């Protein structure tokens, strides 16, 4: 798991301890799908086929309880998992837990971006987990091709203008200035990708619009 994600979860855990109610303390920071992809250790398409109810990791510490989802992998974009594998992904029940509301019947595919905390894979309420049928074609192209090329770049959420950037490898993300849930054109159709630079110059990144013609047939073809 990335240092940024680790520090964010640590801050959230401190809020839980201070405020007492983990549901009240759960606030998700804006997360561009490219950032979610780059921070994730595993990115897959998969089907939820089962769940193990939460149980304490230590007999006297109910606070550290987890819920475990059983996932049938149908496509791997990042990580060692292979189509046909059955994997388990945990979620911390007492803090920002991911709650899968749909039936666990393995009928629908989801795009899942998970991180490793030690050995187990984990997701939370703030993780990128989307019904595949609702992922727009441009984001499908992102997870298949573009997002991985931009992991040396940084998407910076802009809460006001002018947006403060600290280097040429950063792209200003302004969707939140128009839409409080940050689901604007930059999140849906663009990626922050490196541009050619001269020798000895700092890397330069800029927004690039992804192709909306990424069809379902293309998404399911080998290598995508």
Write out the binding residues for Zn(2+).
26
Q: Using an 8 Å Cβ cutoff, are 152 and 168 in contact?
A: no
Give every CB contact of residue 59 below 8 A, 6+ residues apart in sequence. none
The tokens describing 44, both together, are 């897959």
3-state secondary structure of 70: strand
Q: How far apart are CA 220 and CA 104, in angstroms?
A: 22
Which residue ranges make up the annotated binding site?
A: 26
Under the phi-then-psi rule, with left for phi > 0, alpha for psi from -120 to 50, and beta for the rest, what region is 26?
Answer: beta
Here the tokens at position 203 are 């890397």
The three-state (H, E, C) secondary structure of 154-209, written as one string: EEEECCCCCCCCCCCCEEEECHHHCCCCCCCHHHHHEEEEEECCCCCCCCEEEEEE
- Could you give the CA distance from residue 35 to residue 40 in angstroms, rounded to a whole number? 8
Beta-carbon contacts of 180 under 8 Å, excluding residues fewer than 6 positions away, are none
């Amino acid at each position: 798991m990335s240092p940024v994600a680790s520090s964010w979860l640590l801050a959230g855990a401190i809020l839980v301890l201070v405020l007492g109610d983990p549901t009240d303390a759960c606030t998700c920071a804006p997360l561009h799908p490219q950032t979610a992809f780059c921070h994730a250790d595993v990115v897959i398409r998969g089907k939820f086929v089962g769940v193990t109810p939460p149980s304490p990791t230590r007999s006297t510490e109910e606070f550290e309880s987890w819920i475990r989802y059983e996932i049938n992998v149908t496509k791997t974009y990042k990580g060692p998992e292979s189509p046909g594998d059955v994997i388990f992904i945990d979620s911390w029940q007492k803090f920002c837990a991911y709650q899968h509301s749909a039936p666990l019947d393995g009928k629908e595919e989801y795009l899942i971006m998970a991180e490793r905390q030690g050995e187990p894979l984990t997701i939370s309420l703030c993780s990128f987990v989307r019904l595949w049928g609702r992922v727009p074609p441009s984001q499908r192209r992102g997870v298949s091709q573009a997002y991985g090329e931009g992991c040396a770049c940084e998407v910076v959420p802009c809460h006001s203008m002018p947006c403060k950037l600290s280097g040429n490898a950063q792209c200003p993300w302004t969707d939140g200035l128009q839409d409080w849930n940050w689901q604007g054109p930059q999140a849906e159709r663009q990626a922050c990708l490196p541009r050619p630079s001269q020798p000895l110059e700092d890397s330069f990144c800029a927004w690039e619009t992804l192709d909306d013609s990424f069809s379902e047939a293309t998404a399911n073809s080998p290598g995508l």
